[in-house]
Structure 1
Amino acid sequence: MKKIIIMFVMVLSGFVFAQESSDNPFIYDNGTDTTELQEEDILPANPGDPGLAPIDDYIPVLLIIAVGLAIACANKKKTA
């Protein structure tokens, strides 16, 4: 039980410090207010629109493969 509590506290502390921006090396000070980024600004803090995710094209194929694997595992379990 003690190990679970310690692991929970360690994970929780990681989430707490994840949003700290005081010493963020990826925000540039170029004379503009970095808290209000414009849409056309390309900075590490605002990388722009990434477009469509390439995995979207393969969702039907992945679904067919998943169903096929489920059937194969069910048949293998049934014969064993």
Structure 2
Amino acid sequence: MLETVLQGRARRRRGRRAGSPLGPFRTFQVPITDLADLTGLDLAPATAADRFRALTPAADVEPGPSARWRLLTRYADIAL
């Protein structure tokens, strides 16, 4: 019985992951400057090399760092 329950849970987890190649969580591409601001880490060398061009926020989006983040749903969404 326990084995059947565990197998069912494992199948459901695999099914959730199958929806996105990036996993079951929402994934974002963000400017390194935003990561430095949020974490308080000194990422100056990485910030200088960051090639990600932040999106221009839409008029209906609340201003702030999250307006510049790009939601990724597949690998092709990554901007290099």
Structure 1 and Structure 2 fold alike (TM over 0.5): no
User: Counting strand residues as a fraction of each chain, which structure ranks higher?
Assistant: 2
Tell me: higher relative CO, structure 1 or 2? Use CA pairs within 8 A at least 6 residues apart: 2
| Larger CA Rg, structure 1 vs 2 | 1
TM-score by length of 2: 0.28
TM-score by length of 1: 0.28
